[in-house]
Amino acid sequence: MSPASAPPSSTPLLEELWPLLRSRLRLILKAYRIPYPDTEDLLQDVLVVAFCKWETVHTHDSWLLGTLRRKCWLYWKRKRNNLLQAVDMDMLESLSEPLAPVQEQAERLWDLETLAGTLCRRHRAVLWLRYGLGLSTDEVAERTGYNHSSIRKLTCRTVARLQRELVARPRRAGPKSA
């Protein structure tokens, strides 16, 4: 029996379904926001699986659409996992930097307290409320009785003053190398 004389099979050919499903396949790819270069790869994957399982599939059109949806879902799942793994490694490396010794941290805190001691009482209070306790400018204004618009200006000027004083101070001599 030659292919020309073979009885027509009840399963539709892919060539017959393709024009009917083409617009629906495009809609699925758009809905999943698959980048254009990757759409060909996903469609090829679907067609390869379809070629292998064509005879065992009952409703070919639904199966093709469902398989494409699944491939799109897996595409984004792989992308998310790759992104998470890349971020996790970078974050872990940045977090693995050694911490300053306790004595060095205590010295920095002492230096900061000494510097803050040069400020007037109201400036110290505003800095402590804003940065020490993490209050918003509205909350600081409410607690100190200042105008809301002046709190931001006051904190910026105070921090700038601390920076100028820090730069003006002579640096302490470190350990001498022999």
Query: Where are the CATH 1.10.10.10 domain residues in the chain?
Result: 110-168
Residue 1's pLDDT is 41
Residue 10's pLDDT is 59
* Close Cβ partners of 159 (under 8 Å, ≥ 6 residues apart): 127
CB atoms within 10 A of CB 169: 11
φ, ψ at 143 (rounded to 5°) = -75, -35
Distances (CA, A) of 2 to 8, 22, 54: 12, 31, 21
Pick from 12-16, 69-73, 75-79, 161-165 the range whose average pLDDT is largest: 69-73
Residue 4's pLDDT is 45
Per-residue model confidence as pLDDT tens digits over 90-139: 555 666 666 667 787 778 778 777 877 888 888 888 888 887 788 888 89
Cα of 156 vs its chain's centroid, Å: 30
Residue 2's pLDDT is 42
Per-residue model confidence as pLDDT tens digits over 36-80: 989 999 999 998 998 898 889 888 889 999 999 999 999 988 888
Residue 8: is its pLDDT beyond 60?
no
Class (C level, CATH) for 110-168: mainly alpha
Residue 7: is its pLDDT beyond 70?
no
Residue 68's pLDDT is 93
pTM for this predicted structure: 0.43
